[in-house]
Amino acid sequence: MLKFIVENFTHVLPILISGAIALLIIIERFVALTYSYPMSNYDAFFDRLRLLIMKDSIQDAIALCDVFRSKPVARIARVGLMRAHQPTSLIESGLQIAVSESNEKIQARTAFLATIANVATLFGLFGTIIGLVQSFEAVGNATAQARSALLAQGISTAMNATMLGLGVAIPAMIAYAILMNKSNKISGQIDQSAIRIMDLLQQRYFATEAAPHDNNEFPQAGLRVQR
């Protein structure tokens, strides 16, 4: 294969470039989706948030989110907490924007792997066709004794081009499937976190409704509003 790459470098260069780009994307996305974005202590994080929110310690809850600022779940919770004293509609709109931005970051660049897999396969087929054309041209100009050897060599070169293209495409498609599965799990966790933080804020509101209202509270806003 190395000899084939050296002798047909112009044919295989696009495939090698595609493979290098795919490898960089796979490494970057694997690190992000495996270590950077997921929150392993997800339930414990929301249990702690629940205690702080029900005690009306919003600033402490925001500080807890800041500790995990690299996690999308914590960023979503922080957005909701920053709007805790606003009407329900404003909290929901803020959470929707934050969820959309987080999902966009999570799914970034992963879809390129499917495109690279298809392109690498096509580059391999293109190299196969070029190799066959060159082989038949060489056979046409060769002697009868050399034709069989030249034809066999040309077909071998053409098949190697296809094999190299598939060698890039197959791992790229496998990595794409694995990374998409990880992305979907994190996206589901993000959607759930928006619902959970909204639920906690609603519980906080109704808990405060059970107590007498002071002059700085406006229960008709949907959530407690403070001046």
The verdict on residue 226 lying in a domain is no
The verdict on residue 113 lying in a domain is yes
What domain count does the chain have? Answer: 1
The verdict on residue 177 lying in a domain is yes
> Predicted confidence band at 211 (pLDDT cuts at 50, 70, 90)?
low
Q: Cα 211–214–218 angle (5° rounding)?
A: 90
The verdict on residue 227 lying in a domain is no
Range of the domain at 91: 2-221
Across the chain, what does the average pLDDT equal? 83
**How far is it, in rounded angstroms, from Cα 216 to Cα 227?**
7
Q: Check whether 50 has a pLDDT greater than 50.
A: yes
Q: Dump pLDDT digits (tens) for 55-73.
A: 888 899 999 999 998 899 9
Lowest-confidence range among 7-16, 18-27, 158-167?
7-16
The verdict on residue 57 lying in a domain is yes
The verdict on residue 213 lying in a domain is yes
Lowest-confidence range among 38-42, 56-60, 108-112, 147-151?
147-151
> Predicted confidence band at 191 (pLDDT cuts at 50, 70, 90)?
very high
**How far is it, in rounded angstroms, from Cα 95 to Cα 56?**
20
In the predicted model, what is the mean pLDDT of residues 109-113?
92
In the predicted model, what is the mean pLDDT of residues 185-210?
86
The verdict on residue 99 lying in a domain is yes
Q: Which pLDDT does position 142 carry in this prediction?
A: 64
> Predicted confidence band at 180 (pLDDT cuts at 50, 70, 90)?
very high
Print the SS3 string covering the chain.
CHHHHHHCHHHHHHHHHHHHHHHHHHHHHHHHHHHHCCCCCHHHHHHHHHHHHHCCCHHHHHHHHHHCCCCHHHHHHHHHHHCCCCCHHHHHHHHHHHHHHHHHHHCCCCCHHHHHHHHHHHHHHHHHHHHHHHHHHHHHCCCHHHHHHHHHHHHHHHHHHHHHHHHHHHHHHHHHHHHHHHHHHHHHHHHHHHHHHHHHHHHHHHHHHCCCCCCCCCHHHCCCCCC
Q: Check whether 174 has a pLDDT greater than 70.
A: yes
